[in-house]
Amino acid sequence: MKTEIGAVNALPTVTVLVGTNIDGKPTYTTIAWVGVIGRTSILISVNKQRYITSGIKKNRTFSINLPSENLVEKTDYCGIKSGKDVNKALLFSNFYGKLENAPMIQECPVNMECKVTEMFDTSTHDVFVGEIVATHCEDSALVDGNVSLGKMKPFLFSLTDKGYWKTGKKLANAWEIGKNIE
Amino acid sequence: MKTEIGAVNALPTVTVLVGTNIDGKPTYTTIAWVGVIGRTSILISVNKQRYITSGIKKNRTFSINLPSENLVEKTDYCGIKSGKDVNKALLFSNFYGKLENAPMIQECPVNMECKVTEMFDTSTHDVFVGEIVATHCEDSALVDGNVSLGKMKPFLFSLTDKGYWKTGKKLANAWEIGKNIE
């Protein structure tokens, strides 16, 4: 039996840490409102209240860092606390790649440096579209040269139950299992 | 050790089936390029080649259906095959809610009806932003009235390893576990 439960967003998303520089120093915030637009194009939606928005607008760059499940405590902390009040960069080893103002987190197995290509304004959130400039991956998360979700162990955020959820085992190969139907 | 692997999109996303009517009949396609913009605002990015784009543009509505892992075969099939060639609606029990042209899949535990509020054009994809009008949830996927990711059992798509991946157990409560740091 199905029940109509109102206009509820029930789409879970992978939890990421977004980084940028403010006053020349790295800062990060936790974002779950992310999405994919194209092969190298990613979208993040950041509450206007967040400290980090001024940095992203000024630099027109940001990083997306994918924490593994072992970083869940620090990741949640970066979502609760504002960079106005605490120095979140102290929680991590920070590094830079091709972009000067997009700090990345060494402890996250995968990091993507992005250049802002578009910005949209909503009543509550600043939406930034980023073009991926370079991706950095821990060697232990690569299988045959490709990032493996099973090694990366990202975790999901689900707004409806206010929880972080683990990712599990491989279920099937894409563009393959569906061929069984015919 | 980190390796730079080029501009690779390594953000996994939850796999969804998008529905709309074409010539008065329901059709579906599999999309993994989705995202969240706001509390009731969702984005889908659909390859321009896909049959479904004409329907969404005309109706200015679509549905997002979240398949559980038991639907992985049918979900992959809906990504491989075009609605031009096969009638995908025959794979499922279809139902409608508030919107006339947004068919939904009974077998998916969660369905969201959306009205298109914005459309963007990229070289390869049509990007649609949808406002959620109503969400329908299987009673067995509700816990205390809220959609539970653990009951819903959605699965992820990972472009980098061309795989579908299960979602796992609850890892922690959001806005809570981070309080341990202080």
What SS3 class is residue A31?
strand
Q: Which residues of B touch A150 (CB under 8 A)?
A: 161, 165
* pLDDT score at A165: 98
Work out the minimum CA distance from B162 to partner chain A, whole angstroms: 5
Average pLDDT over chain A, rounded to an integer: 96
Is B125 in the A-facing interface, judged by CB distances under 8 Å? yes
Q: What is the pLDDT of residues A63-85, one digit of tens each?
A: 999 999 999 999 999 999 999 99
CA–CA–CA angle B129, A7, B159 (5° rounding): 45
Q: What is the pLDDT of residues B72-115, one digit of tens each?
A: 999 999 999 999 999 999 999 999 999 999 999 999 999 999 99
Q: Do A73 and B181 touch (CB under 8 A)?
A: yes
Q: What is the pLDDT of residues B49-70, one digit of tens each?
A: 999 999 999 999 999 999 999 9
**Burial zone of B167 (CB within 10 Å; 0-12 exposed, 13-18 middle, 19+ buried):** buried
Q: Which residues of B touch A68 (CB under 8 A)?
A: none
Is A149 in the B-facing interface, judged by CB distances under 8 Å? yes
Q: Which residues of A touch B102 (CB under 8 A)?
A: none
Q: Which residues of B touch A73 (CB under 8 A)?
A: 172, 177-178, 180-181
List phi, psi (to 5°) of B179. -65, -20
- The tokens describing B132, both together, are 């959620």
pLDDT tier, B122 (very low <50, low <70, confident <90, very high otherwise): confident
Work out the minimum CA distance from B177 to partner chain A, whole angstroms: 6
pLDDT tier, A20 (very low <50, low <70, confident <90, very high otherwise): very high
Q: What is the ipTM of this complex?
A: 0.94
Distance, CA of B164 to CA of A171 (rounded, Å): 5
Q: Do B134 and A170 touch (CB under 8 A)?
A: no
β-partners of residue A120 are A127
Q: What is the pLDDT of residues A127-173, one digit of tens each?
A: 999 999 999 999 999 999 999 999 999 999 999 999 999 999 999 99
pLDDT tier, B182 (very low <50, low <70, confident <90, very high otherwise): confident
Nearest-CB residue to B181 (from A38, A74, A162): A74
* pLDDT score at A121: 86
> Does the structure show a pLDDT above 90 at A92?
yes
Is A150 in the B-facing interface, judged by CB distances under 8 Å? yes
Pick from A43-47, A117-121, B126-130: least confident? A117-121
Q: How far is CA B97 from the centre of its chain?
A: 17
In this structure, chain B runs to a length of 182
Q: A residues 9-68 near B, CB within 8 Å? A: 9-14, 16, 32-43, 45, 64, 66
pLDDT tier, B8 (very low <50, low <70, confident <90, very high otherwise): very high
Percent of chain A with pLDDT over 90: 97
**CB of A113 closer than 8 Å to CB of A63:** yes
β-partners of residue A19 are A28, A63
Is A143 in the B-facing interface, judged by CB distances under 8 Å? yes
- Three-class SS of chain B: CEEECCCCCCCCEECEEEEEEECCEEEEEEECCEEEEECCEEEEEEECCCCHHHHHHHHCEEEEEECCHHHHHHHHHHHHCCCCCCCHHHHCCEECCCCCCCCEECCCCEEEEEEEEEEEECCCEEEEEEEEEEEEEEHHHEECCEECHHHHCCEEEECCCCEEEEEEEEEEECCCHHHHCC
* pLDDT score at A16: 98
Is A180 in the B-facing interface, judged by CB distances under 8 Å? yes
* pLDDT score at A78: 97
Nearest-CB residue to B171 (from A14, A145, A164): A164
Distance, CA of A116 to CA of B168 (rounded, Å): 33
Percent of chain A with pLDDT over 70: 100
Q: Which residues of A touch B28 (CB under 8 A)?
A: none
**C-alpha dihedral, B13 to B81 to B21 to B108, nearest 10°:** -50
Mean pLDDT of B146-166: 96
* pLDDT score at A32: 93
